A and B are shown apart, each in its own frame.
Chain A
């Protein structure tokens, strides 16, 4: 079982370049999430999606856009990368339609992104 798959695993960008991080889940989950993880700060929510065609901002959405392409896939785009976006990005999914329910989230292994 693949679970949540993120691509790429590593990426180095120059300031101002654009990039899309891909995420796919094969668990038929309804909700999907994008987080960033920075040292000493835990995970912070960037965007989330409760179902196909719906997305909403989390705690730190500035500089990012998302697309819920279908039930399986949820992509994160950096239109003009900045050094402050150097981080590890995690995609997660959960079975619930209702956001932030008591259902746990399943995480991918992350994308390590460096912006020079």
Chain B
């Protein structure tokens, strides 16, 4: 079985301050991990993915995430928040060849001016 836990349902930051969105996962196999962003009334857009290469993954719009196997975590960070980052973010775990794709419940990021 596999699961994903996004530890915060809401995160609020000020523009220009760092962003940290936390994700823990469990998987019996070597997982692929993704972060997606969803803006209002839109579909999900891929931010970045981890697929067993480098543990520090860089994505679009200045986001990055670090895969830590010992902590079963895949936290999303950005050094400086922008107003346009306000959206909902989903952590996703996938296991190749297995009938399982699991989404976290989402973290809503609010960016204050």
- Residues of A whose CB lies within 8 Å of any CB of B are 4, 40-45, 56, 90, 92, 98-102, 104-110
Closest chain B residue to A45, Cβ basis? B101
Q: Smallest CB–CB gap between A78 and chain B, Å?
A: 20
A40 x B9 contact (CB < 8 A):
yes
- Taking chain A's interface residues, is the majority helix, strand, or loop, or is none over half, making it mixed? loop
- Taking chain B's interface residues, is the majority helix, strand, or loop, or is none over half, making it mixed? loop
Q: What class of interface size applies to chain B in its complex with A? A: 20 to 34
- Residues of B whose CB lies within 8 Å of any CB of A are 9, 32, 34, 36, 41-46, 49, 51-52, 90, 94-101, 103-106
Closest chain A residue to B90, Cβ basis? A42
A110 x B105 contact (CB < 8 A):
no
Closest chain B residue to A33, Cβ basis? B101
A102 x B45 contact (CB < 8 A):
no
Closest chain A residue to B4, Cβ basis? A42
A101 x B94 contact (CB < 8 A):
yes
Q: A43-B90, A90-B44, A108-B43 are in contact. Are A100 and B105 (CB under 8 A)?
A: no
